[in-house]
Amino acid sequence: MKPAPFEYVRATSVNEALAALAAGNGEAKLLAGGQSLVPMMNFRLVDAPVFVDINGIAELAGIEATANGGLRIGALTRHYTLETSDAVRTRFPVLHEAMKHVAHLAIRNRGTIGGSLSHADPAAELPAMAVLLNAMIVTVSSSGGREIAAEDFFLAPLTTALEPDEIVLAIDFPGLPPGAGWGFEEFAQRRGDFAVAGAAAVVVMDGDRVTEARISLMGVHDTPLRASAGEQALIAGGIDAAAAAARREVEPMNDLHGSADYRRHLVEALTRRVLRAAIEMAAR
């Protein structure tokens, strides 16, 4: 199918985009990489009188090292740029690994990190990475700027805390603790498909003791999920207890790619694998 008619505004600055959103009285939408939005427009699942194209806003793209050992990634940064970034590979190897599972080259050439987070597919890799890495989503709207913690950003499938006139400017990833280990595992029907289930972990060790545990799950809940019971179980018990706790925490859906029960099984198996890898890797 073809999209319904719409008016097109090409914004060349954030202020222009804000003005166009304001003029749309809450009905105008942003168009970034379009890799999730345009399919929905073609199917007429999404329709708006005005689309504001932000692809020409150069200030929104780029990866900047921050003083806390982290990265500030512009909302319009393409997946392929993340995939091939040395800064991402050295500061957030788990994010580098996750990018290998994001869609296909032609999609990665166009798709953006801000778009992926705003689309908020619970099976997508980048939202799960944002909650794993305690990212802050930096936004601006007509009423000013704010920073939203990733865990407060994702509200439901395809639903975020963003207001209709709000634009994601950048995603701030604070640096990982020194010596942190990590793991990433995803099960999908084919490379590049959305995850049937996926898990990622960050672990900090002091000798044989886990001092910090983070577990992030995708494809198994109505948002990307920090498995907090699993994290506590890892510190108090161990890998098996953590994997079992994570399994109890999720509320997966039945769909044609897998039953809820199968997804729970995957959560336990994948959580165990990522925790093993992270603990193995963490400096003692």
What does the block give as tokens for 275?
């925790």
Is residue 44 at the binding interface for another protein, with CB under 8 A as the rule?
Answer: no
Is residue 2 at the binding interface for another protein, with CB under 8 A as the rule?
Answer: yes
Is residue 35 at the binding interface for another protein, with CB under 8 A as the rule?
Answer: yes
Which candidate, 197, 254, 241, 243, places its Cα nearest to that of 220?
A: 197
Work out which of 23, 105, 155, 236 binds another protein, going by CB under 8 A: 105
Name the burial class of residue 254, with classes exposed (0-12), middle (13-18) and buried (19+) by CB atoms within 10 angstroms of its CB: exposed
Work out which of 15, 23, 25, 43 binds another protein, going by CB under 8 A: 43
Is residue 106 at the binding interface for another protein, with CB under 8 A as the rule?
Answer: yes
Stretch that binds another protein, among 65-73, 161-169, 191-199, 203-211 (CB under 8 A): 191-199
User: Cα torsion at 19, 25, 27, 29 (round to 10°)?
Assistant: 10
As measured in angstroms, the least distance from the Cβ of 80 to another protein is 7
Work out which of 191, 259, 280, 283 binds another protein, going by CB under 8 A: 191
Size of the site for another protein (CB under 8 A): 31
Is residue 51 at the binding interface for another protein, with CB under 8 A as the rule?
Answer: yes
Work out which of 30, 103, 132, 168 binds another protein, going by CB under 8 A: 103
Distance CA 97, CA 88 (A): 10
Work out which of 25, 42, 142, 211 binds another protein, going by CB under 8 A: 42
Distance CA 263, CA 240 (A): 17
Work out which of 12, 13, 109, 141 binds another protein, going by CB under 8 A: 109
Is residue 86 at the binding interface for another protein, with CB under 8 A as the rule?
Answer: no
Work out which of 53, 151, 212, 222 binds another protein, going by CB under 8 A: 53
Distance CA 249, CA 187 (A): 19
Is residue 251 at the binding interface for another protein, with CB under 8 A as the rule?
Answer: no
Which of 41/274 has CB closer to another protein? 41
* Cβ neighbours around 166 below 10 Å, total: 22
Query: Which residues contact residue 264 at a Cβ distance below 8 angstroms, ignoring those fewer than 6 apart?
Result: 220, 247, 250, 252
As measured in angstroms, the least distance from the Cβ of 169 to another protein is 21
* DSSP labels, 25-66: TT--EEESS-TTHHHHHHTTSS--SEEEE-TT-GGG--EEE-
As measured in angstroms, the least distance from the Cβ of 104 to another protein is 3
Query: Which residues contact residue 5 at a Cβ distance below 8 angstroms, ignoring those fewer than 6 apart?
Result: none
Binding site residues, another protein, CB under 8 A? 1-8, 10, 34-35, 38-39, 41-43, 51, 53, 55, 80, 103-107, 109-110, 190-193
